[in-house]
Structure 1
């Protein structure tokens, strides 16, 4: 069958609280996000693999508290006073492990925000003791924060992640597709994102419904290519 023209429309992630599925893998993190007044010292570190929900939880927290969300690599000294004036989430802190300028900015943001009684949320993929920040004072303050790790997904969470990824692309797979994928896919958020992307593209290019048959063909092709 000749491939059809397709429109590669961007996915629009839904980042509200109602879009976040709670399971044993993330329940503690959700509870901490919902009750920031309980954070010891006013700060919290969230860690977890790519796609585990760190950014989503930052947005949930921001919607609840009015917090600003910034990337660690984009934070500068001149931003600090404005950011420290309210609650703030700083994402992907390990990315500045060798960037002395960005680390100094984050160090001052950390101190000023907490001194003014505002909450600070930090995120990164590995456990904070592995962030390897070259500024010792910043590394010690990060490790002094309460740390919540988002665990690898259990079946209910992985099913919800798949459903959300499909919904973000405004597509509805047949009811047997997600159970079929759960039995055969790698158990990771990255694998879920990759499979949804591949299925979406295959369905569009072939002009087919997103069915179990299409999923089986895609997974078989992926197995042969590894």
Structure 2
């Protein structure tokens, strides 16, 4: 049965390991997260475009290692010595580029975590050389950190991502809806996120089922130009 569309239910993201679907597009990153005790220098950078699963994998690692997860933008106000007593995941490091206090805090956190014998995970949407960090010592340490990347999704992963996004919103689309979206949408995680949100809003507002017809209308009316291009070379993240 479909969700009762008269109720705007909350979105609850499932962030467990069992909720993360593994395909060749992300297998290396998953293997490194699962084998975290062997990271060179006890640190790792996890790269990937928006909505690619970085936060999900950070939570998987935190559940496994007992690590704390913090946003890079909050580090200037954090108790760095206390934070460094355990394993730490720092999310969205490029966001602090040019913020002297936050960069200095991450530099000290990096050094203290390693001095304490702990492990550090950092997430970003691009390689460390393009983060724009101003503090030279921090930039050199980040660029010297082993990195792994979540690639643009293949059909299997895109299908799983869409299914998870619908499930997070407690939505049940008709069986043909997700295959139709996979065939016609851009191969991008943020596009999947936007599509599911738009379909949820349209179904809720119009009292309609989540089916292929609604998917086609959302693709045509809501998405940005180029989203309907199904060429395998389109939508790849650079």
For the aligned pair, the TM-score class normalised by the smaller chain equals: over 0.9
Q: Deviations over 1:174-195 (max 9, x none)?
A: 1100100111111101110111
Q: Normalising by structure 1, report the TM-score.
A: 0.94
The 4+ residue runs of structure 1 with deviation greater than 6 A are 223-226
Kept in 1: contact 2:33–2:57 (CA 8 A): yes
SS of match in other structure, 2:79 = helix
Return the offset for 1:217.
2.0
CA separation in 1, counterparts of 2:37 and 2:173?
40
Figure out how many residues of one structure are paired with residues of the other and give that number: 222
Q: Partner of 1:69: helix, strand, or coil?
A: strand
Instruction: Flag the 1:96–1:224 CA change in 2: closer, same or farther, 3 A.
Output: closer
Q: What is the CA–CA distance in structure 2 between the aligned matches of 1:37 and 1:202, rounded to whole Å?
A: 46
Structure 2 counterpart of 1:52: 52
Unpaired runs of at least 5, structure 1: none
> Is 2:172 the counterpart of 1:165?
no
- Measure how far apart 1:58 and its partner are: 0.4
Cα-to-partner distance string for 1:191-223 (whole Å, 9 max, x where unaligned): 101110111111111111111111122223247
* Secondary structure, counterpart of 1:14 in structure 2: coil
RMSD: 1.6
CA distance in 2, matches of 1:217, 1:141: 48
3-state SS of 1:90 partner: strand
Other-structure match for 2:91: 91
CA deviations 1:102-127 (Å, max 9, x no partner) are 01000000001001110000011011
Match of residue 76 from structure 1: 76
TM-score, structure 2 as length reference: 0.89
Distance in 2 (alpha carbons) for counterparts of 1:96 and 1:186 = 30
Q: What residue in structure 2 maps to residue 218 of structure 1? A: 218
Gaps of 5+ in 2: 227-238
